[in-house]
């Protein structure tokens, strides 16, 4: 394998091939100035069962490959820690109160984060020996306490020092950790002291409503630990037999960098990729449109391209949309809002049902089909609102705040019909 030219430490990429319960080394990452280059290992290229980590980004070929968008290959970046994970690693290596994540390199974050990361990749300092990182299994109480101390900028006592390794490898900005429950693999998402409303309960509410509205979503449960709410999300990239499924974010599917995504990410472009490269493209386009409508109805305007993903099948070179996740109502006191990903080809991203229907042809739907989807979701949310609010243990006040300020905000009905009110009792 290639060695670093600048004397920095190489990072080796290990992967779980389909059906395998143990990883094999696939290649090496080396920092070269402001970018991170990747080279497949010769031993991996000689394997009969070798698969590309992701196409068209990293074709199965010899030689150094530089990233097509951004400073690092998207499939690698998808497996890297995001804001919360970097904060945990920074606190461990630099000390409490540290908040400048640029103090550490990208490769440092890859090597210091836990091994139970999203998808089928991990990163090691060795090409010969695989040693998983993550420490001993932690209880939910330990994870909640460790997350609280990190948020407060406090040092972790020895018994909690390794606990948050279980959350340092997964994406997102909010406190979270991975957790095992028998043969199930879970992501535990914790409430935060800075929450202005019960965000964890709100996400449970949205995920449960999405299932009632007919969307394919991850399984969720709601629990408590040490007086804090915890959302348990069942992972769909793991199975009980120890195998792992390859995944890429929509950011990677669209070949966008984080910076470019701020203005160039688009559901319409994702629809084009679905037509070209996804399994069951017609049904997947319909599912994508249904998710757009649901986000508009519940006020989820944090629908950035990392909050959408696809399973990658390197053998068939096809993608399959994963279940939906990270559906969160976001309160707003003003009127019209915008989605983070454009819905139309013209850059149109307004959170309006009428606009979604006007652009439904992009998703291979007739306008009457699109209207039926909208009406069905409105009916399902209205019918199940009180029952799921009760399951989420939302107070009457919190329920009333969410209704209108996020879910069924009157502005989304502009040009579609009269605003719909959610039942109060």
Preceding amide of 56 cis, omega within 30: yes
Residues 176 and 253 in one domain: no
Residues 154 and 256 in one domain: no
- What is the per-residue pLDDT for 134? 74
- What is the per-residue pLDDT for 342? 97
Q: How many domains does the chain have?
A: 2
pLDDT for 238-277, tens place per residue?
Answer: 988 889 999 999 999 999 998 898 889 999 999 999 999 9
> What Cα–Cα distance (Å) separates residue 215 from each residue in 234, 248, 292, 347, 352?
16, 20, 11, 25, 19
Query: DSSP class of residue 12?
Result: E
Distance of CA 233 to the CA centre of its chain: 12
Indicate whether 191 belongs to any domain. Answer: no
Please answer whether residues 236 and 218 qualify as being in contact, where contact means their C-beta atoms are separated by less than 8 angstroms.
yes
Please answer whether residues 413 and 353 qualify as being in contact, where contact means their C-beta atoms are separated by less than 8 angstroms.
yes
Residues 72 and 164 in one domain: yes
pLDDT for 363-411, tens place per residue?
Answer: 999 999 999 999 999 999 999 999 999 999 999 999 999 998 999 999 9
Considering only CA atoms, which of 26, 32, 28 is closest in space to residue 12?
28
Segment 324-331 shows an average pLDDT of 96
Indicate whether 238 belongs to any domain. Answer: no
> What Cα–Cα distance (Å) separates residue 280 from each residue in 287, 321, 342, 369, 406?
11, 9, 23, 18, 32
Q: Burial of 102 by CB count in 10 Å (0-12 exposed, 13-18 middle, 19+ buried)? A: exposed
Sheet-wide strand order for 228-234: 176-181, 184-190, 228-234, 220-225
Beta strands in 297-393 (DSSP E): 309-313, 318-321
Indicate whether 188 belongs to any domain. Answer: no
Residues 262 and 381 in one domain: yes
Task: Enumerate residues 6+ apart whose C-beta is below 8 A from 98.
Answer: 90, 91
Given CA atoms 267, 268, 272, 274 in this order, what sign does their dihedral have? positive
Please answer whether residues 178 and 114 qualify as being in contact, where contact means their C-beta atoms are separated by less than 8 angstroms.
yes
C-alpha span between 283 and 212 (Å, rounded): 18
- What is the per-residue pLDDT for 367? 97
pLDDT for 177-188, tens place per residue?
Answer: 888 888 889 998
Residues 146 and 256 in one domain: no
Residues 272 and 139 in one domain: no
Residues 305 and 384 in one domain: yes
**CATH code: domain of residue 283:** 1.10.1070.20
Indicate whether 6 belongs to any domain. Answer: yes
Considering only CA atoms, which of 97, 131, 96, 133 is closest in space to residue 116?
133
| 13-17, 87-91, 235-239: the lowest-pLDDT one | 87-91
Averaged confidence pLDDT in the chain? 90
C-alpha span between 225 and 211 (Å, rounded): 25
- Residue % of the chain over a pLDDT of 70: 91
Residues 262 and 363 in one domain: yes
Residues 388 and 298 in one domain: yes
- Is pLDDT at 2 greater than 50 in this prediction? no
Indicate whether 198 belongs to any domain. Answer: no
Indicate whether 80 belongs to any domain. Answer: yes
For residue 82, give its domain range: 1-123+133-180
pLDDT for 38-93, tens place per residue?
Answer: 999 999 999 999 999 999 999 999 999 999 888 999 999 999 988 777 877 887 77
Name the one residue in this structure whose structure tokens are 């932690």.
138
Indicate whether 65 belongs to any domain. Answer: yes
Sheet-wide strand order for 11-15: 64-65, 35-40, 24-32, 11-15, 121-124
Segment 158-183 shows an average pLDDT of 69
Indicate whether 423 belongs to any domain. Answer: no
- What is the per-residue pLDDT for 96? 56
């Amino acid at each position: 394998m290639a060695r670093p030219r600048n004397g920095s430490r190489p990072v080796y990429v290990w992967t779980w091939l389909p059906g395998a319960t143990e990883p094999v080394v696939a290649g090496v990452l080396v920092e070269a100035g402001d970018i991170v280059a990747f080279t497949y290992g010769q031993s991996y290229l000689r394997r009969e069962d070798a698969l590309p980590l992701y196409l068209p980004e990293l074709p199965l070929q010899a030689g150094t490959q530089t990233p097509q968008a951004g400073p690092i290959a998207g499939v690698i970046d998808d497996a890297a820690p995001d804001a919360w994970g970097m904060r945990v690693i920074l606190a461990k290596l630099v000390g409490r109160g540290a908040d400048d994540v640029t103090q550490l390199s990208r490769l440092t974050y890859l090597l210091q984060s836990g091994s139970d990361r999203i998808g089928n990749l991990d990163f090691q300092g060795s090409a010969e020996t695989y040693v998983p990182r993550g420490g001993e299994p932690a209880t939910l109480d330990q994870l909640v306490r460790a997350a609280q101390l990190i948020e407060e900028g406090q040092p972790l006592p020895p018994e909690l020092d390794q606990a948050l390794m279980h959350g340092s490898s997964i994406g997102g900005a909010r406190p979270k950790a991975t957790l095992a429950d028998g043969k199930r693999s879970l992501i535990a998402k914790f409430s935060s002291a800075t929450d202005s409303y019960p965000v964890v309960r709100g996400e449970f509410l949205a995920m449960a409503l999405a299932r009632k509205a007919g969307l394919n979503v991850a399984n969720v449960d709601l629990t408590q630990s040490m007086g804090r709410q915890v959302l348990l999300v069942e992972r769909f990239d793991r199975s009980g037999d120890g195998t792992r499924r390859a995944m890429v974010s929509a950011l990677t599917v669209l070949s966008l960098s984080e910076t470019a995504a701020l203005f160039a990410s688009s559901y319409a472009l994702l629809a084009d990729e679905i037509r070209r490269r996804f399994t069951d493209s017609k049904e997947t386009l319909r599912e994508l449109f249904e998710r757009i409508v649901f986000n508009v109805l519940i006020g989820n305007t944090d629908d950035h391209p990392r909050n959408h993903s696809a399973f990658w099948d390197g053998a068939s070179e096809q993608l399959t949309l994963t279940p939906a996740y990270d559906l969160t109502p976001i309160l707003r006191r003003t009127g019209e809002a915008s989605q983070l990903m454009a819905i139309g080809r013209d850059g149109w991203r307004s959170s309006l049902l009428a606009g979604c229907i006007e652009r439904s042809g992009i998703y291979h739907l007739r306008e009457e089909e699109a209207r039926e989807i909208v009406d069905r979701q409105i009916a399902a949310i209205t019918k199940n609102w009180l029952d799921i609010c009760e399951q989420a243990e939302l107070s009457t006040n919190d329920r009333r705040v969410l209704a209108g300020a996020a879910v069924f905000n009157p502005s989304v009905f502009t040009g579609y019909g009269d605003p719909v009110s959610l039942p109060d009792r």
